Amino acid sequence: MTLEALEEEIRACTNCPLCRTRKNAVPGTGNPHATLMLIGEAPGRQEDERGEPFVGRAGRLLSEILAEIGIGRDEVYITNVVKCRPPGNRTPRASEVRACMPYLRRQISLIGPRIMVLLGMVPAKTVLGMYGIRFTSMGEMVGKVFHVDDVILVPCYHPAAALYNPRLVDRIRETLRKVGELYQK
């Protein structure tokens, strides 16, 4: 299977009730051979409208910080754990995460990233769990670097959190600077 075929499968997905309220499924975007993959929680309103991840205010902040550390969005692959917008931007339900997990696993397998940044609690709990790492709390885990097999996992606050709590911007910058150093190696 190719990444393009998987993305088409995601766009046609009806595995959970979110398919009934979405405008667009949001498979992901970016370099299909990226060594750096960023994984968010779920699409927001603007992402649902455009069918692309991280295109709203949080996405602009993410792009700005990536540019500061010398990484272009065209170099990375960006996706979400859940591929359709939950109503009202609520946190995805466990059943919705389970419905999308086969897609995320296949994306990771097809892209083969060396580094994955887990943007927020849902991706941190989900992806760390996939690799047998117990999630404790975002405050404790943000910025930690986990080496598992040939993959580096780095939990980070979601850029949207910084829109509501500007004090988190520095923690996001610090974490992504660390990622930038790992990326350059």
83 in Cβ contact with 57 (< 8 Å): no
pLDDT tens track for 2-47: 999 999 999 999 999 999 999 999 999 999 999 999 999 999 999 9
Query: How many CA atoms are closer than 13 Å to the CA of 154, on its beta-carbon side?
Result: 25
Residue ranges of the domains in the chain? 3-184
Mean pLDDT value of segment 170-179: 97
The answer, as to whether pTM is greater than 0.85, is: yes
Under CATH, which architecture does the 3-184 domain have? 3-Layer(aba) Sandwich (3.40)
* Amino acid letter, residue 163: L
Residue 114 is predicted with a pLDDT of 98
CA distance 43 to 50: 10
Share of the chain above pLDDT 90, in %: 98
H/E segment holding residue 118: strand 115-119
Mean pLDDT value of segment 152-179: 96
